[in-house]
Amino acid sequence: MTDAASSLQYDTLRLRRPGLTRDLPPGAADLQWVSNTSTLVFGERDAVLVGTFLTIEQNQQLVEWVKAHDRNLAYVFITHGHGDHAFGVKQLLEAFPEARPVAAAVAVAKSRSEGTAPFIDSFWAARFPGQVPQPQVFPQALDGDTFTILAALDPVHVVAGHKNPDLPDDPQILAQTKRYFADFNRLDAETTTHTELYEAMLALYPERANPGPLWGGAKRAKGVS
C-alpha cells in the first residue's frame, strides 16, 4: 500500500503459529491460533522492517519476502522485546549484513531477558523445541526509551502486531483495542474468579482470535498463578 502524502509504501507479512498459552479451558478451539505480523516500510531505494518472527522457518520466510521487494534494508526495528517479535534479528542480519537492528532501550533489555538462558530454554524452546534461532542477536538501543503512538496523529494505516489476516489495517483498531481493555477492566470489577472474567469477555467478544492472552490476563488479574 502507498501513503500518498509521503510516497512511502508498506507491505505486511502475516504468519500463523500455535499460541503460547497451553492450559486454555475447553472451547474456542477454532480461535486458538496467533498471527504475527512483520511490516516493511519502503521508498524507492531503502526500507525499514518492523518486527520479526519466532521460529527459524518463519524468519527464513521473512528473509525471502524482504528480498523479493528489492530494497536496501537499512533498519530492523523491534517494537518490543517479546521473542515472537524479536527472535529473527540474527537471520535478518545474516541476509542483510548492512542493516542496523534497533529498538528503544527498554525493548532491548526485554529482548535480552527473553533471549538468554534460562528463560529461552524454559519458556520459548520448551514450547517450540528445535525451532528457536540461537544464539540470539539483540537490537541496539536508540536514544531515549519511549516514543509516542497517538490516534491524534490521524494515521492512514495502523498495522497490528498480531493482526487478524482477514481484517484491513484500519486506524479504528486503536479505538477497538482501547474499548477491549476498558471492557476487561469493567468485567474484572464485576467478576470474582478468573474463569468468570474469561467467560464474560468471551461472551462479549466471541470471535476475537487468540484467547490465550485473555486467559493469562484473567488469571493475573485475579491473582492466579
**Rg of the chain over all Cα atoms, to the nearest angstrom:** 18
Distance CA 194, CA 140 (A): 38
pLDDT of 83: 93
> Tell me, what's the pLDDT at 81?
93
CA 188 from centre of chain: 25
Helix (H) or strand (E) holding 219: helix 212-221
> Would you state the pLDDT for residue 145?
55
Residue partners of 85: CB distance under 8 A and separation at least 6: 36, 51, 52, 53, 78, 79, 161
Q: What pLDDT shows up at residue 186? A: 97
Q: Find, among 138, 149, 148, the residue nearest to 105 by Cα.
A: 138
Q: What confidence score (pLDDT) does residue 153 get?
A: 62
Q: What is the pTM of this model?
A: 0.79
pLDDT (tens digit, 0 to 9) for every residue of the chain, 225 residues total?
555 445 889 999 999 887 777 777 777 766 667 788 999 999 999 999 999 999 999 999 999 999 999 999 999 999 999 999 999 999 999 999 999 999 999 999 999 999 998 999 999 999 999 999 999 999 999 886 554 448 666 778 888 787 777 788 888 888 988 999 999 999 999 999 999 999 999 999 988 877 888 888 999 999 998
**pLDDT at position 75:** 94
- CB count, 10 Å around CB of 174? 15
Instruction: Give residue 16's pLDDT.
Output: 83
Sheet holding 33-42, edge to edge: 9-18, 33-42, 46-50, 72-77, 100-103, 140-141
